[in-house]
Chains A and B, each alone.
Chain A
């Protein structure tokens, strides 16, 4: 009994404070979490709209699929369908991620309704080196993926970035980041295409 009394004497303030602070965090979280979720959805929708310009809205068509990323590391992603104003499919977009130079790189990649060419990619999140790796956000680099045929990309240190083919010209001084970008595309696209075919969203005259 005296042990319980000693325990309560020593820790009552900690227990009461923990309860009070926990309540405070729970209140803030429940009040702001819908807005935080909405911010995430808005950002994703804006990026997807920037890639599939004729899409009015987007709906998830495949959710929570497992994709083997770089070095076979399993990643969970979802595929969204862009719907144009006449109700037809304007394209598909999905989130792809991989390891960059400094941190994880998350991309939104979009393809046409037949999954034959890329509409392009936008950076969802990246913490690459300012002035070097963060140039993946700039159009001169990301435009190399725009309208490129769906397939495997290869990185090249020299070449014309304006030429649209399966060769991606690396950012000078950021080879690791450039390689990461190419690896992300190569790791995801075949698996996503396969999933779209399995679900009957592409192929069979669609």
Chain B
């Protein structure tokens, strides 16, 4: 990870590292609750992804700004305080302006507080890097997480309903797979995608 100790901070790397190389879902396997719980359709997955991007960017910004003032034994409590604040704001915003989506997501928006992706980026990057790097890292990691959610949700939505964003995409004789809307569908799809990502990484390495 590029940080202020490096000779010259690599902004591009900070922005792109979370998309594939350190993708929280496919490469690091952290914050796995939303990929399993809110991926029955693309719309809620996208809303969850955007909420996580907002929280990641804001918490990284705040943690980075106060990084020189943080006492080691108080840093986790400070991270949690910042994360909880921005998650509460995101939750209030959704309840006010996206009421339907807020109901679909249920408790999973408030649960972003305990999502390890946020605290992980605060600890690994924001508490050691300057503000620009921290913001870029938040955007990159958030986008990587959102892409993973949308891929999972896209596959599940198409197979479970034959539709994608309410547009019919499957041939007329297609029989919807009800299991894809259930937890088993999430586990199977995630497992196959993790296998595929490992395969791609191995091929790249070889």
Contacts and interface: CB of A to CB of B under 8 A. Distances in A.
B74 A13 contact: yes
A127 B40 CA distance: 13
Contact of B181 (A13, A35, A130): A130
Given A17-B78, A21-B85, A25-B85, A10 B71 contact: yes
Interface string A32-72: 11011001000100000000000000000000000000000
B92 interface: yes
Contacts of B96: 32-33, 35-36, 39
B88 interface: yes
B77 interface: yes
A28 B106 CA distance: 20
A36 B96 CA distance: 5
Given A14-B74, A131-B178, A131-B181, A21 B81 contact: yes
A32 B95 contact: yes
B89 A17 contact: no
A28 B89 contact: yes
A25 B181 CA distance: 35
B2 to A, nearest CB: 26
A14 to B, nearest CB: 6
Contacts of A24: 85, 89
A7 B16 CA distance: 42
A18 B88 CA distance: 14
Given A36-B95, A131-B178, A14 B66 contact: no
B99 A43 contact: yes
B103 A125 contact: yes
B97 interface: yes
Contacts of B84: 21
Given A32-B93, A32-B95, A130-B182, A14 B81 contact: yes
B57 interface: no
A35 B96 CA distance: 5
B82 interface: yes
Given A25-B85, A28-B89, A39-B95, A129 B78 contact: no
Contacts of A32: 92-93, 95-97
B85 A13 contact: no
Contacts of A139: none
Contacts of B182: 129-131
Contacts of A13: 66, 69-71, 74, 78
A28 B94 CA distance: 12
B74 A29 contact: no
A21 B74 contact: no
Contacts of B99: 36, 39, 43
A14 B40 contact: no
Nearest to A103: B106
Contact of A35 (B81, B88, B89, B97): B97
A10 B82 CA distance: 18
B95 A127 contact: no
10 contacts: A13-B74, A14-B74, A14-B78, A28-B92, A32-B95, A32-B96, A125-B103, A129-B182, A131-B179, A131-B181
Interface of B: 40, 66, 69-71, 74, 77-78, 81-82, 84-85, 88-89, 92-93, 95-97, 99, 103, 106, 178-179, 181-182
